[in-house]
Amino acid sequence: MRKAPTILHLDMDAFYASAEQASKPSLRGKAVVVGGLGPRGVVATASYEARVFGVHSAMPMAQARRLAPNAAYLVPRFGFYKAISEQVMGLLRELSPLVEPLSLDEAFVDLEAGGTAWDEASARLAGAKLRADIRAVTGLTGSVGLAASKMLAKIASEQAKPDGLVVIEPGTERAMLGPMSVRTLPGVGPATGDHLRRAGIHTVDEIVEAGEDELVRLLGKAHGHGLYAMALARDERAVVAEREAKSVSVEDTYDVDIHDRVRVGLEVQRLADRCVRRLRAAGLSGRTIVLKVRRYDFSTLTRSETLRGPTDDPAVVREAALRLLEGVDSTGGVRLLGVGVSGLADFTQEDLFAQAAGVGAGAEQGVEEVGDDAPVEERDVVVERRWVAGHDVRHSEYGHGWVQGSGLGRVTVRFETPDSEPGRVRTFLVDDPRLESAEPLPLVQALGSHPHHL
């Protein structure tokens, strides 16, 4: 392990919810919950104001509504969050060529590799400057942890939340980790935590006292060795700049179980087409097709088929997914379906039509070929205008706003922008021609848009 705290971990604070609050002045300082709003939706992120009521990520949305009935409930705007994430990742890459993104709102940075930091003082300066730059560029806050290893940097950023900076000085790690819960260590989830608790092991110190042999006996060789090393604050994992995608997949959870076998087949084909579009957008192809089915009783089945070579052909992926579906018993209903492609490559074998038994037959049965210029979602959406809670709209008279809610043929819109005062609320018919979907506005105006910046 290195001698200076030059590994940085950044975690944006309640990222999705904070982005929504910055975008919508009327929600600042209020409880905001972002996630799926259907009967089976889950919380993606809750603002700190919502967390006071016990709402947290991965919680069923129905439970969140019971805990915080007066919170604002919004559907995620992933394109908006991704644009902000790219700004943040750009700032990280100015610090070092070694940036390892873990998600849209979280990443490790090796400051030493970028020559940005070499001791505690320079690391602390780099962390403070990063936080200020993030606030200036995005208007949002992030918490920064600095330590001599990835594990400790992540623990430090957790201690720094919200909107703080914590440095763990080399040499102090063991004393700091000792009294902490075993759940603090990477790889210790609820199941492993319960297993350790039943063995009388609650803290990191107790892991060390139990000894490596006991850990191996309890958890198996690989997990036991790894966990013991981490309890001793040993973590030699390097920051890896590019994490290669191992698979590309899409999945949908349905508000009501699907019982109709024909409908299940159509959903699988639609998911296969979406998966291929994502595959092509990344310039990839793959040779293993994966089908995921979660049934009415929450049992999840995964089936896969490996082709002779990689493909990005929608017909091939569709047919393979349908063949896999034939081997799955969906009696009783299906609540989730997913289609994925793994075994990725950056080339395609053109003769793979031969691999998909019955591709021609599929076409004869009315399985429509979906090209890039006619995506399935676009054909579905034109049937009716849907106004999604939290998403952006523009009115020809009132300007930019966002959807507060819709139903019974009406849509309620609050008209405000990131740099305005909290706005007025107005209600329209859902098919009002003056109202249209809009792109999100930037949270921070570009410098050039203000006349006093010369």
Amino acid at 22: A
Question: In this structure, what token pair is assigned to residue 317?
Answer: 């992926």
Amino acid at 381: V
> Which of 415, 379, 377, 382 shows the shortest CA–CA distance to 396?
415
Q: How far is the CA of 25 from the CAs of 28, 88, 164, 245, 256, in angstroms?
A: 5, 22, 23, 37, 35
> Which of 135, 142, 140, 132 shows the shortest CA–CA distance to 107?
142
Per DSSP, helices labelled H in 257-334 are 261-281, 314-326
Paired sense of beta strands 334-345 and 392-395, if any: unpaired
Whether 94 is catalytic: no
Q: Coil, strand or helix: which one is 298?
A: coil
Question: In this structure, what token pair is assigned to residue 446?
Answer: 């570009």
Distance between CA atoms of residues 361 and 112, nearest Å = 59
Q: How far is the CA of 435 from the CAs of 141, 381, 422, in angstroms?
A: 33, 16, 20
> Which of 108, 106, 104 shows the shortest CA–CA distance to 96?
108
219-232 as b/e: b if 16+ CB within 10 A = beeeebebbbebbe
Distance between CA atoms of residues 261 and 95, nearest Å = 53
Question: In this structure, what token pair is assigned to residue 254?
Answer: 């349905």
- Neighbour order of strands in the sheet with 142-147: 99-103, 106-110, 7-12, 142-147, 165-167
Neighbour count for residue 190 (Cβ, 10 Å): 8
Element holding 254 (H helix, E strand): strand 247-258
**Active-site residue identified among 106, 173, 267, 416:** 106
Positions marked catalytic = 106
